[in-house]
Amino acid sequence: MKACRIAGCSRPAKGKDVRCAAHQTAHRRHGDALQKGVKAVELEPLKREIKSILGGQKDWSGKAVVGQLWAGVVDQARLTLDEYHEQGKALPSWKVKAAQTLSNLSKDVLAEDILVTVASLYLYRELRPERFVSDRAFVFQVVRRVRNMTLTSRGSWFDPASGKTKHCYDTPREKEVMALAQILGATFGGLGLAIAKAAMKHREQKQQLVRATKEAIMEIVQR
Ligand SMILES: [Zn+2]
Protein backbone atom coordinates (compact mmCIF):
# COMPACT_ATOMS: atom_id res chain seq x y z
CA MET A 1 0.00 0.00 0.00
CA LYS A 2 1.27 3.45 -0.89
CA ALA A 3 1.92 5.99 1.85
CA CYS A 4 0.38 9.48 1.91
CA ARG A 5 2.61 11.80 -0.10
CA ILE A 6 2.52 14.57 2.52
CA ALA A 7 5.96 14.74 4.15
CA GLY A 8 6.02 13.24 7.65
CA CYS A 9 2.66 11.50 7.26
CA SER A 10 2.81 7.73 7.63
CA ARG A 11 -0.85 6.96 7.04
CA PRO A 12 -1.73 5.00 3.90
CA ALA A 13 -3.00 6.82 0.81
CA LYS A 14 -6.75 6.38 0.45
CA GLY A 15 -8.19 4.87 -2.70
CA LYS A 16 -6.79 6.33 -5.89
CA ASP A 17 -5.67 9.50 -4.12
CA VAL A 18 -2.04 10.27 -3.28
CA ARG A 19 -3.05 11.45 0.19
CA CYS A 20 -4.47 9.81 3.30
CA ALA A 21 -8.10 10.41 4.30
CA ALA A 22 -7.25 13.19 6.79
CA HIS A 23 -5.07 15.11 4.33
CA GLN A 24 -7.69 14.64 1.59
CA THR A 25 -10.31 16.21 3.84
CA ALA A 26 -8.01 19.12 4.75
CA HIS A 27 -7.31 19.74 1.07
CA ARG A 28 -10.99 19.77 0.23
CA ARG A 29 -12.02 21.85 3.23
CA HIS A 30 -9.10 24.26 3.53
CA GLY A 31 -7.61 24.39 0.02
CA ASP A 32 -4.37 22.71 1.08
CA ALA A 33 -3.62 19.43 2.84
CA LEU A 34 -1.40 21.26 5.35
CA GLN A 35 -3.72 24.18 6.11
CA LYS A 36 -5.41 24.16 9.51
CA GLY A 37 -8.77 25.91 9.61
CA VAL A 38 -8.78 29.42 11.09
CA LYS A 39 -11.22 29.37 13.99
CA ALA A 40 -13.67 32.15 14.81
CA VAL A 41 -11.99 32.70 18.21
CA GLU A 42 -8.65 33.41 16.51
CA LEU A 43 -10.22 36.33 14.64
CA GLU A 44 -12.30 37.73 17.54
CA PRO A 45 -9.65 40.11 18.97
CA LEU A 46 -8.74 41.29 15.48
CA LYS A 47 -12.39 41.95 14.67
CA ARG A 48 -12.68 44.04 17.84
CA GLU A 49 -9.56 45.97 16.86
CA ILE A 50 -10.98 46.67 13.38
CA LYS A 51 -14.40 47.64 14.73
CA SER A 52 -12.77 50.14 17.05
CA ILE A 53 -10.83 51.65 14.13
CA LEU A 54 -13.99 51.87 12.00
CA GLY A 55 -15.88 53.28 15.00
CA GLY A 56 -13.47 56.21 14.94
CA GLN A 57 -14.15 56.77 11.22
CA LYS A 58 -17.88 57.44 11.33
CA ASP A 59 -17.88 59.46 8.12
CA TRP A 60 -15.63 57.13 6.10
CA SER A 61 -17.10 56.78 2.59
CA GLY A 62 -16.02 53.11 2.44
CA LYS A 63 -19.01 52.09 4.56
CA ALA A 64 -21.51 53.42 2.01
CA VAL A 65 -19.45 52.08 -0.90
CA VAL A 66 -19.34 48.55 0.50
CA GLY A 67 -23.09 48.67 1.15
CA GLN A 68 -23.72 49.55 -2.49
CA LEU A 69 -21.33 46.92 -3.83
CA TRP A 70 -22.93 44.27 -1.64
CA ALA A 71 -26.47 45.29 -2.68
CA GLY A 72 -25.43 44.69 -6.31
CA VAL A 73 -24.03 41.26 -5.45
CA VAL A 74 -27.21 40.27 -3.61
CA ASP A 75 -29.42 41.46 -6.49
CA GLN A 76 -27.41 39.36 -8.92
CA ALA A 77 -27.59 36.31 -6.63
CA ARG A 78 -31.39 36.62 -6.33
CA LEU A 79 -31.66 36.97 -10.08
CA THR A 80 -29.66 33.75 -10.50
CA LEU A 81 -31.88 31.93 -7.98
CA ASP A 82 -34.97 33.23 -9.74
CA GLU A 83 -33.72 32.07 -13.14
CA TYR A 84 -33.03 28.63 -11.72
CA HIS A 85 -36.08 28.05 -9.50
CA GLU A 86 -38.78 30.07 -11.29
CA GLN A 87 -37.73 30.02 -14.93
CA GLY A 88 -36.16 26.57 -14.92
CA LYS A 89 -32.93 27.77 -16.48
CA ALA A 90 -30.18 25.14 -16.57
CA LEU A 91 -27.33 26.33 -14.34
CA PRO A 92 -24.39 24.49 -12.83
CA SER A 93 -25.09 23.51 -9.22
CA TRP A 94 -22.05 25.36 -7.84
CA LYS A 95 -23.40 28.58 -9.32
CA VAL A 96 -26.80 28.07 -7.74
CA LYS A 97 -25.23 27.13 -4.38
CA ALA A 98 -22.96 30.17 -4.42
CA ALA A 99 -25.98 32.39 -5.16
CA GLN A 100 -27.92 30.70 -2.33
CA THR A 101 -25.04 31.32 0.11
CA LEU A 102 -24.91 35.02 -0.85
CA SER A 103 -28.68 35.33 -0.52
CA ASN A 104 -28.60 33.65 2.93
CA LEU A 105 -25.79 35.97 4.03
CA SER A 106 -27.80 39.01 3.00
CA LYS A 107 -30.63 37.93 5.34
CA ASP A 108 -28.40 37.38 8.38
CA VAL A 109 -25.53 39.88 8.20
CA LEU A 110 -24.69 43.42 7.13
CA ALA A 111 -22.15 44.32 4.45
CA GLU A 112 -20.05 46.07 7.10
CA ASP A 113 -19.87 42.88 9.20
CA ILE A 114 -18.58 40.91 6.20
CA LEU A 115 -16.04 43.67 5.57
CA VAL A 116 -14.85 43.37 9.19
CA THR A 117 -14.45 39.59 8.82
CA VAL A 118 -12.51 39.92 5.55
CA ALA A 119 -10.32 42.71 6.97
CA SER A 120 -9.60 40.62 10.09
CA LEU A 121 -8.28 37.81 7.89
CA TYR A 122 -6.00 40.21 5.99
CA LEU A 123 -4.77 41.57 9.33
CA TYR A 124 -4.22 38.03 10.63
CA ARG A 125 -2.13 37.25 7.56
CA GLU A 126 -0.05 40.42 8.14
CA LEU A 127 0.57 39.44 11.76
CA ARG A 128 1.01 35.68 11.29
CA PRO A 129 1.82 34.91 7.64
CA GLU A 130 2.88 31.37 8.60
CA ARG A 131 -0.74 30.65 9.61
CA PHE A 132 -1.65 30.42 5.88
CA VAL A 133 0.28 27.87 3.85
CA SER A 134 -0.61 29.42 0.45
CA ASP A 135 -2.72 32.10 -1.26
CA ARG A 136 -5.22 29.43 -2.16
CA ALA A 137 -5.49 28.30 1.46
CA PHE A 138 -5.98 31.95 2.51
CA VAL A 139 -8.83 32.40 0.03
CA PHE A 140 -10.47 29.20 1.32
CA GLN A 141 -10.32 30.57 4.87
CA VAL A 142 -11.91 33.86 3.79
CA VAL A 143 -14.80 32.01 2.12
CA ARG A 144 -15.17 29.64 5.06
CA ARG A 145 -15.25 32.37 7.73
CA VAL A 146 -17.68 34.51 5.73
CA ARG A 147 -19.85 31.52 4.81
CA ASN A 148 -20.11 30.53 8.47
CA MET A 149 -21.45 33.99 9.36
CA THR A 150 -24.87 32.81 8.22
CA LEU A 151 -26.65 30.25 10.35
CA THR A 152 -28.35 28.84 7.26
CA SER A 153 -25.03 27.52 5.91
CA ARG A 154 -25.05 24.85 8.56
CA GLY A 155 -27.33 21.95 9.14
CA SER A 156 -28.52 21.46 12.71
CA TRP A 157 -30.01 18.43 14.34
CA PHE A 158 -30.97 17.39 17.84
CA ASP A 159 -28.79 14.63 19.22
CA PRO A 160 -30.85 12.65 21.78
CA ALA A 161 -27.73 10.90 23.12
CA SER A 162 -26.18 14.12 24.38
CA GLY A 163 -29.39 16.13 24.64
CA LYS A 164 -27.79 18.91 22.63
CA THR A 165 -28.36 20.54 19.27
CA LYS A 166 -25.43 19.76 17.00
CA HIS A 167 -24.26 21.76 14.03
CA CYS A 168 -22.66 20.46 10.92
CA TYR A 169 -21.04 22.86 8.48
CA ASP A 170 -21.11 21.35 5.03
CA THR A 171 -18.01 21.57 2.90
CA PRO A 172 -18.70 23.42 -0.35
CA ARG A 173 -17.29 22.11 -3.62
CA GLU A 174 -14.15 23.74 -4.96
CA LYS A 175 -16.04 25.51 -7.77
CA GLU A 176 -18.45 27.08 -5.30
CA VAL A 177 -15.54 28.19 -3.07
CA MET A 178 -13.78 29.74 -6.06
CA ALA A 179 -16.93 31.53 -7.25
CA LEU A 180 -17.52 32.94 -3.76
CA ALA A 181 -13.83 33.87 -3.44
CA GLN A 182 -13.99 35.84 -6.66
CA ILE A 183 -17.16 37.72 -5.65
CA LEU A 184 -16.06 38.38 -2.05
CA GLY A 185 -12.65 39.51 -3.30
CA ALA A 186 -14.15 41.97 -5.77
CA THR A 187 -16.60 43.31 -3.18
CA PHE A 188 -14.60 43.37 0.06
CA GLY A 189 -10.96 42.69 -0.93
CA GLY A 190 -9.69 46.19 -1.68
CA LEU A 191 -11.38 47.86 1.28
CA GLY A 192 -10.60 44.95 3.62
CA LEU A 193 -6.90 45.08 2.78
CA ALA A 194 -6.86 48.87 3.26
CA ILE A 195 -8.44 48.50 6.72
CA ALA A 196 -5.86 45.84 7.65
CA LYS A 197 -3.09 48.26 6.62
CA ALA A 198 -4.69 51.03 8.68
CA ALA A 199 -4.76 48.65 11.67
CA MET A 200 -1.05 47.87 11.19
CA LYS A 201 -0.32 51.61 11.14
CA HIS A 202 -2.28 52.06 14.38
CA ARG A 203 -0.20 49.30 15.97
CA GLU A 204 3.04 50.95 14.83
CA GLN A 205 1.97 54.31 16.22
CA LYS A 206 1.17 52.69 19.58
CA GLN A 207 4.57 51.03 19.67
CA GLN A 208 6.28 54.31 18.83
CA LEU A 209 4.48 55.94 21.73
CA VAL A 210 5.67 53.19 24.08
CA ARG A 211 9.25 53.72 22.89
CA ALA A 212 8.97 57.50 23.22
CA THR A 213 7.63 57.10 26.77
CA LYS A 214 10.59 54.89 27.73
CA GLU A 215 13.01 57.40 26.23
CA ALA A 216 11.36 60.27 28.08
CA ILE A 217 11.64 58.33 31.36
CA MET A 218 15.32 57.61 30.79
CA GLU A 219 15.92 61.22 29.81
CA ILE A 220 14.57 62.68 33.05
CA VAL A 221 16.03 59.94 35.30
CA GLN A 222 19.53 60.45 33.92
CA ARG A 223 19.41 64.23 34.11
ZN1 LIG B 1 -1.52 12.13 5.18
Cα-Cα-Cα-Cα torsion 174, 96, 120, 125, nearest 10 degrees, comes to 20
State the distance from the centre of ligand 1 to the C-alpha of 36, rounded, in angstroms: 13
Q: How far, rounded to the nearest angstrom, does the alpha carbon of residue 38 sit from its chain's CA centroid? A: 8
State the distance from the centre of ligand 1 to the C-alpha of 19, rounded, in angstroms: 5
Q: Which residues surround ligand 1, an ion (CB under 5 A)?
A: 4, 6, 9, 11, 20, 23
- What does the alpha-carbon distance between residue 82 and residue 6 come to, in Å, rounded to a whole number? 44
State the distance from the centre of ligand 1 to the C-alpha of 6, rounded, in angstroms: 5
CB 155 within 8 A of CB 104: no
More confident residue, 122 or 3: 122
* Residue 69 pLDDT greater than 60, yes or no: yes
State the distance from the centre of ligand 1 to the C-alpha of 125, rounded, in angstroms: 25
The pTM for the full model equals 0.88
For 79-115, what is each residue's pLDDT tens digit?
A: 999 999 999 999 999 999 999 999 999 999 999 999 9
**pLDDT at residue number 141:** 97
State the distance from the centre of ligand 1 to the C-alpha of 12, rounded, in angstroms: 7
State the distance from the centre of ligand 1 to the C-alpha of 149, rounded, in angstroms: 30
Find all residues with CB under 8 Å of 61, minimum gap 6, and list them.
none
State the distance from the centre of ligand 1 to the C-alpha of 16, rounded, in angstroms: 14
If you average pLDDT over each of 47-51, 54-58, 148-152, which comes out highest? 47-51
Region 202-206: what's the mean pLDDT? 95
**pLDDT at residue number 167:** 63
* Residue 153 pLDDT greater than 60, yes or no: no
State the distance from the centre of ligand 1 to the C-alpha of 182, rounded, in angstroms: 29
Helices (H), the chain: 21-30, 40-55, 62-85, 93-108, 111-127, 135-147, 174-184, 190-222
State the distance from the centre of ligand 1 to the C-alpha of 130, rounded, in angstroms: 20
**pLDDT at residue number 22:** 93
**pLDDT at residue number 32:** 95
State the distance from the centre of ligand 1 to the C-alpha of 212, rounded, in angstroms: 50
Region 2-30: what's the mean pLDDT? 91
State the distance from the centre of ligand 1 to the C-alpha of 172, rounded, in angstroms: 21
State the distance from the centre of ligand 1 to the C-alpha of 200, rounded, in angstroms: 36
Find all residues with CB under 8 Å of 159, minimum gap 6, and list them.
165, 166
- Across the chain, mean pLDDT equals 92
State the distance from the centre of ligand 1 to the C-alpha of 4, rounded, in angstroms: 5
